[in-house]
Structure formats: C-alpha cells, structure tokens
Chain A
C-alpha cells in the first residue's frame, strides 16, 4: 500500500447550494450528550430543534423545549428559559443535571444562556450546563462535539470526592456504544483486569462522569470526539491517554497490547489475543473467500474512516473511496494508508460526488449512514450501515459480526434482480 500523496482539506465550510450530509453543532452536541443518563435535555429554540434532537442516535428520549414563538423572538426569551428550567426541576426532580442547548434562534437574539444557567445552578443545587451550539457556530457537527466535550469537562467531570481505591480503572473516550460495541471492549479490558469507569458517552451517567477523573488511563477510541476530552482531562487531572482502535483483529490486538503494557499485564494480553484469533480464524477465512478483491467505498459521520479502512483491508477488500462528513487530517492519512492507489479521499462529499462515485466506479459495497443508504440502493449498490445497529463491530467477536455483515450485504439475492448489475460479483 502506498500512502496517498494528497489529503483533503478539513474543516472548510460547506459550499452553499450543495447537498451535504453534514449537520450542525447542535446535532454534534446532541450526539455526544444524548446518552448521558440521569440528565434532562432542554433545548432553547423553536420546537423543531427538540423534535429532531429526540431521535438522534436512533432512540427516543425525553426532550424538553422552550418552543420559542414569535413573541419571544421579538421581546426576548430569557424569562421563559429561566421559568422552563424551574419547571423542569419541579416536574423531574430526579434529574441529576440539566443540559441547556442554545440553538440558532437563541444565539441570534443574544440570549444570555450562561447567565441564566449560572443562576439556575445556584438555585437548584445541581449542574445546569449551558451548551451554546448554535447551528451557525461551526462548519459541521464536529464543532458541536467539541462544545459538548468542553461542557462535560467543565461542569460534570471531577465533582466526586477523591477516591484512591481504583488502581485499574480506565475511561474510554469517544466511544458511543453503537450496537453494543462497548460491551465487547469492556469484556476485553475486563479480562485484563481493568474496569471501564466511564465511557464518554456510551456509558455515562451523572455519577460516573463526576468520578471519571479518578481513572488511571484514558483510552481514546474516536479521535475526533475523544481527542479534545483526553487533552482537557490530561491538562486538568494529569490523566495520560492512549489512542486505541478496536476495529479489526490486528488493531484490537495492538490496542490490547499497548493498554496491557501500561498496567504490566502483557502476558494476559497475549493469551487473550491468541485464544481470540484462533477462534475467529475459520469464519474470517471463509469470509475472505467471498470478499477478497471487491471494492468498497466508505462515507460516514465521524473520523472512524481510518479505522474502518484498515478493517476492510484486513479482509482483503480494496478501499476505493473514503470520506467523512468532518474528518481529521490524521484520519484521512490513516485511511489513505490502507487504500488502493488511485482511491479517492473526500471530506464533506456532496450528494453529487457520491452519485458520481456510485455511477462511475460501481463499487461492490458502500458503507455509510441513513442518508447515503437509500441513494446507494437506487444505484443498485449493496449498502452496509455504519454506525451499525444491533450488534457490536468492535473487538474480536465484533469483527466476526462485521465480516459476516459484509457477506450478507453482498450476497443478498435482491441484487440479482436489478437489471445489468452485479454479474461480476456473482461470478459470471
């Protein structure tokens, strides 16, 4: 594999008039905070933002909104917000914290969300966390991740009293427990004798967050979202961090080794790796027979594109397109290292560019999110949804699931019924 010479520019604003898959900082903030258990989510905006925010990450959550109307846009909405926070606490006294999201309308009308939250914090005796995530305050949801991460570190992490009884505790940062990924990771770390204290934010409740600074090591899974958290926690609490990757056998093994080395448990790691690779070998061998040499395109949300490119490469597939809605240069470098020469790297690919790829390159498989899925299907291209639902892709067992899902997507009989397509995949 030759590294590609040219990496895409990252973080540039989307061109007006494009059909982009990027979302706004509010979406990014919701993505990061949606699974924080024990907290209320109050969206200070017209009602739509809360309505849509309720289905972020595929689940329905209780969503609170101030549902701003014309009157408040004109005369100010601070009194309404203060009243809404009071009401939220009265209605749901069990809430351990309240996230107050400030969206476009609040940002443009200049609502003092910070001030109101400070007052409410004093009055209610619990964290009332301002998350200023107006839709225009960044180029993509990635900026919202950073805003939410900063809010977590500032208002929630570190509130628990000192605790020295946890010498083998780690946090996993940038891990969202898609399809149960975290279960696999916890299991592997558990076999090393390590305990996941808090996973930001796949397994994070208010108490776990409050004590997260007692962990001895931060494992950074998604770099885009976990990186800023790790740096903030290193600065504030001196916790070292280690980038890890649990997608793919080789990557999982390497991550386990490095983690184990930090705790002097190298031998345990080797045993786990040996047992797991032996177990996975026959399945992966049969999968490789189906997929070797097939061409895959990747396009999804965050920056796991580098990790996923490596995982597909491990199965012998050619990664011919890799893109993310808001990637980091190092992720593209990682993806590029696992790609076929001539493959394309693209940040914030528009629908037009994706269609161009689907029509011209006719990939054997495309991997991405909901919005790309139905487009790929229209072009007759098998599609695999990532982040996946329902089953883990992380760790050794997860990789087997992942490999099986590829075969399922490729071999579905439906592709035979599309005129003129997939003859080459099906072997004639």
Chain B
C-alpha cells in the first residue's frame, strides 16, 4: 500500500497550504549545468575535511597520548581550533613545524628532533605520528625516520624509558580521503602496531566507536555495564575530551581516562570487535579478524531502535550475556516516546547531511519515526553508506511522500541547491555547517554529528542507544515545535 493521503488535523495532506521556500534577496539561480558536484572541478562549502583530523581525534582518545603532526603548523593549529570549539577542552597536539628547509630537504630532522623534544618535555606514553599532504608529497620515509628517532631516544633517555613510549605511525595523506578515513587508518595503525594475542580465551569485546562524541561513548559504556560485558574502547575520548575541572598539581596537563596502552595490547584476545561506524574504524576490526580470527562486526551505528537492538543482540551472541530488564525498560521508554510524538513526526520531510555513518544511522531512525528523508548527503563518499540508506528506504518506502535523493560525496552547495527546488521541508538534521542553509530555507536545524561548534553541550548528549535516541527524538520534535509555535505558551501537547 502506498499512502498518499494522511489526515493531519482533519485536512488531507495534499490540500495543506504549501508555502514557497523564501529565498534570500541576494539569491540568484545558479548555472544548472554546474549545480551537481560531479560536474564540477570546484568544491563549494565542503562537507568533509582532510584525513589528519580523524587520526588526531583518535590519538586523543588514548591515555597520555599526544599526536605529532608531521607537517606545517597550520595542520596542527586548525585541528586544535576545531577540537577546542567542539569539545570545549584543551587539545594537546604537537607540530613538526615544517618550514622551507623541510620542504627542500625533507622532514627527517623535524621528526627526529620533534619526537625527542616531545618525549622530554611532555613525557607522553604514546605518540601518534600523523602525516599530512606535505610530508607525503615530499616523500618522507616515515618508517626509517621513526627508527632513527627511536634510536636517538634510547641514547638520550636510556633504553628502558625510551621503549616505554609507544610510537604509532598513521599515514594520512590529506588528498587521499577525508577525516573519516583518517580515523579508520588510525584504528588500523593502532591495532597493527600494538595489539598482541596470547591465545587465551576472553570474554572481553573490542569497541571502536568511530567519530562519536564523549556523550555517545558514555552511553555505549552504560549499555556494556548493564549487559555486564567487559570491553576495550579503542579511542575512548569520553574522559580525555570531557574532563572535570580539577586543577592539576603538576605540568604537563593530561586529562584523566583514555584507552590504556596495556588494554590496546590486549585487543588481540577479545571475543569480538565492534566497529560502531563501519567507515570510521572498520578496517581496524577487519585487521583483528584476519590476524587473530576475532569476529568483526562493522556498523551500523546504534542510532534508533533497530540498530540498537542489533548491537545488543550481537553483544549477547558473542558474550552469552542476556539483555537485562533495565535495558528492555529503556527500549520501552523510547518506544513510548515514539508513540507519544508520532503525530508530530509522521510524514514530515527531513534532510540529513554529515559523515556517512552518522547520516546512515540518523536516516534509519527518522524512517522509524515515520518521517520522509527527502535528501540524505554524506560528505565523504562511501559504498557502505549507499547500501545502508537504501536498506532503510526499502523498509519504509511505502510511507514516503517523495523519493529520497541520495548524495554520496559532493558538497553542501549541491545539497542546498537541491533543497531549494523542493516544495516544502520541515527539518534539516546535520552539523553546524548547515546553519546558513537552514537560515536560507527558513527550516529548523537539529545539530548532530561532527562538527557542532555553535551550541553548548551537544558533545555530551548521546544520540546512540535507546536513551540517546530518545534525546534525539525530543530534539527533533521540539525543533519543529519551536519553529512553528515559537511563542505559544498555551500549547498542550
């Protein structure tokens, strides 16, 4: 059955007044030949950034770890800015400080001296060496440089102290992929460099969360705790990038928490690896599977009912633990909230954009809410993304008012121009880069994913798990209510 007419407050849907989307006075129709990103050499308002950011994000989730960026200072500074703005936390990232001499003679001196200075001054336990477009273009032989740096460290600090510092090389040539791939490569580099197996069976699981916020990771930990499952969360930013204010008594400052080096070494003994975001972290899980035979589950990110059910069932299957009553109750409360709000969400037209894993997860959830995803855009092109959203569409297509348009890769300009051609849109879900689009179209924006830098607290509020989905649901409904009834104090919901 295809639904064409849904009574909304007694009026058939197709008789509702359809408002024309107001365009700003400065808006001029653009050259139609060049609206599609695929037809252009030009990217306008990119919806993805370069690889090193993802790798630095990952390294900051390890206990007493500092990323060392083999490149010019901007590569470090821009990412520090971005993290500070998102997480409202200091981000300690060291620079190799490339100048003209490095561009001419290569970055060997920068790496050898840099690692030495970093180790002596900041005393990290782990250094994640992150390459950039410049070091990759000049062809720095990072493996041999790191070997030389290690030798140098042993001479200076003594073998024992030097060998306590783990150095992980993450190759992230900026031109070859986005921040999602950067995180993915970091996950693989860490397990490849550090994970070992002792052939002892273990009930622990590995979780590679992907580009999820501290609030999300806390929610994942809550699910695991309720299930009674021990886990290693590789790149646990929940405490490192959301640390309490308790003035440190000594320098340098290291936030509490983060994944311990010993835990990462143990990852080869787990009973399963869950990469919650297949594109960001999946390759680490697959490497563990190939190397140690640990089953890998890559995605989907547990946003919404079905995906969270999925995760819990998989967890249950691998560990033999049942889903406890407390989590069933959380699920029940989410479903209850969906029942209480469906009249606000049904048949609402929504556009979703951001990183592929997050967008796929949110898209499935809005389908569960009965909304029509008219356009979904992943800034980073991904085969997996296309499959996941198509699967969600297939399950809910009969409810859709329009055929969804999928942008796999592409930029925000293309996305915005497409939304302008639609008759009506109720909601945009995406990151802070969508503020201008939402304003231009006069549509509310629900902020989700990377990056959210223009509101407080979003990094602490989960969207995963049943409780996260409930919070996201409220966010969605209230955004639309705020937009439609901004001053109405008598509305009884």
Contact = CB atoms under 8 A, between A and B. Distances in A.
The reply to whether chain A is a binding partner of chain B is yes
Interface of A: 13-27, 42, 45-52, 54-55, 60, 62-70, 72-73, 80, 83-84, 87-88, 90-92, 94, 104-105, 107-109, 134-141, 350-352, 355-356, 359, 370-371, 373-375, 377-380, 418-421
Interface in B67-109: 68, 71-82, 84-85, 88-100, 102-103, 109
Contact of B137 (A73, A84, A88, A92): A73
Of listed A26, A46, A109, A377, residue having the most chain B CB within 10 A: A46
B41 A83 contact: yes
A136 B103 contact: yes
Given A15-B117, A65-B46, A70 B173 contact: yes
Given A52-B78, A378-B245, A379-B247, A17 B90 contact: no
B493 to A, nearest CB: 33
The CB with the most chain A CB atoms within 10 A, among B31, B44, B79, B96, is that of B44
Contacts of B66: 19
Contacts of A373: 84
A14 B97 CA distance: 6
A18 B114 CA distance: 7
Nearest to B249: A359
A74 to B, nearest CB: 10
Chain A CB count within 10 A is highest, among B26, B118, B435, for: B118
A138 B42 CA distance: 28
Contacts of B247: 378-380, 418-421
Contact of A46 (B30, B97, B99, B175): B175
B96 A17 contact: yes
A27 B95 CA distance: 15
A371 B91 contact: yes
B113 interface: yes
Contact of A63 (B46, B80, B138, B435): B46
24 contacts: A14-B73, A15-B113, A16-B110, A17-B95, A18-B97, A20-B95, A21-B77, A23-B77, A45-B133, A47-B174, A51-B48, A62-B413, A65-B44, A83-B41, A91-B42, A105-B174, A105-B175, A107-B103, A108-B138, A355-B253, A371-B80, A371-B81, A378-B90, A378-B245
Nearest to B100: A136
Contact of B72 (A24, A55, A379): A24
B114 A47 contact: no
Nearest to B417: A91
Contacts of A90: 31, 34
Contacts of B93: 19
Given A84-B41, A104-B134, A24 B68 contact: no
A420 B133 CA distance: 46
Contact of B49 (A14, A23, A48, A374): A48
Nearest to B85: A370
B372 to A, nearest CB: 28
A13 B99 contact: yes
Interface in B314-360: none
A255 B219 CA distance: 57
A83 B250 CA distance: 55
A136 B98 contact: yes
Given A16-B97, A17-B68, A374-B90, 11 more contacts: A18-B94, A19-B94, A24-B74, A48-B51, A55-B81, A63-B45, A73-B137, A134-B103, A135-B75, A136-B72, A359-B248
Contacts of B174: 46-48, 105
B78 A352 contact: no
Contact of B122 (A47, A104, A352, A421): A352
B262 interface: no
A17 B250 contact: no
A375 B253 contact: yes
B363 interface: no
Contacts of A55: 81-82, 85, 453
A21 B77 CA distance: 6
Interface in B48-64: 48-53
Interface string B231-256: 00000000000010111111111000
B45 A54 contact: yes
B43 A65 contact: yes
B185 interface: no
Contacts of B453: 55
B82 A52 contact: yes
Given A16-B111, A65-B43, A73-B137, A51 B50 contact: yes
Nearest to A380: B247
Contacts of A419: 246-247
A174 B82 CA distance: 25
A70 B50 CA distance: 13
B421 to A, nearest CB: 16
A54 B79 CA distance: 13
Contacts of B141: none
Interface string B175-197: 11011000000000000000000
Contacts of A359: 248-251
